[in-house]
Amino acid sequence: MFFHMVLERNMQLHPRHFGRDLRDKLVAKLMKDVEGTCSGHHGFVVAITGIDSVGKGLIRDGTGFVTFPVKYQCVVFRPFKGEVLEAVVTMVNKMGFFAEAGPVQIFVSNHLIPDDMEFQPGDIPNYTTADGSVKIQKESEVRLKIIGTRVDATEIFCIGTIKDDFLGVISDPGATS
């Protein structure tokens, strides 16, 4: 799920950036530092959408670095148990398949794949129904439901299922090509 929220961070800036465009430099560095990171609490920071305030800088003894407390708005993505996501399959093996929804990695184990889909090993391993009408392989897009998340300080990993109504393949590159 996406959230728009205000976060705060202490930015350290090298003295060489002190000048007319100090603020721009600060924002650029903030984006570089923060976007794409993941915190267990808030989830993945997808994008910074604005700066609320930049506080007074504090010069560090000895180094000349200055620390600015920055409040910024950002979009975060945080997967939740029970959430339905669309994801791209990245790997298929006998144990199930892995998929990515943006920055989040999701594993769908084979017992959460519909029973009528069988694993087919080979150059392009895939799960296929008996009549061959539905196939899950690398690059397939699937809609899945998250049934469990592992949230570490800097990482979120999910497991999902496609064994439910309206879940499964939403487009099959193999079928269109």
Partner 1 sequence: MSSIEPFNRLVKLAARAFYDDITTKGENQQKIGRSDNRGIAVVILDALTRRQWVREEDLAKDLKLHTKQLRRTLRFFEEEKLITRDHRKETAKGAKIYNAAFAATGDGQQTGREGDDKQKMHTHSYCCLDYAQIYDVVRYRLHRMKKKLRDELESKNTVQEYICPNCSKRYTALDALRLISPYDEYFHCESCNGVLVAESDKLAAQELGDGDDNARRRRHEKIKDMLSKMEVQLKPLTDQLARVKDLAVPEFGSLHAWEARANAAGRSANGDLDANDPSKSSHGFGGTPMPYVGETKVEVAFSGIDEKGETLKSENASIPMKVLPPWMIKEGMNLTKEQRGETRAEITTGGTLTAAKVSDDKTSALANDEEKNIQDEYLKAYYAALLLRQSEQEETMKRQELASATISDEVYDTTTDRLVGMKSKRNEDYEGDDVEWEEAPPTGSTTKQFKVDLNEEAEASEDEDDDDIDWEEG
The footprint of partner 1 (CB under 8 A) covers 91, 93-96, 98, 105, 107, 109-112, 115-116, 118-119, 121, 125, 145, 147-150, 157, 159, 161, 163-164
CB of 76 to partner 1, least distance (A): 21
Nearer to partner 1, 72 or 127 (CB): 127
CB of 147 to partner 1, least distance (A): 6
CB of 158 to partner 1, least distance (A): 8
CB of 173 to partner 1, least distance (A): 21
Question: What span, in angstroms and rounded, lies between the C-alpha atoms of 59 and 108?
Answer: 50
Q: Which of 122, 127, 124, 125 is nearest to 111 (CA)?
A: 127
Q: Which of 36, 9, 20 is nearest to 155 (CA)?
A: 36
Nearer to partner 1, 40 or 57 (CB): 40
Query: CA-based angle 42:138:40, to the nearest 5?
Result: 10
CB of 83 to partner 1, least distance (A): 13
What percentage of the chain's residues is helix, strand, coil (to nearest 5)? Answer: 15, 55, 35
Phi-psi category of 64—alpha, beta or left, where left has phi over 0 and alpha has psi -120 to 50?
left
CA distances from 120 to 42, 143, 147 (A): 38, 21, 25
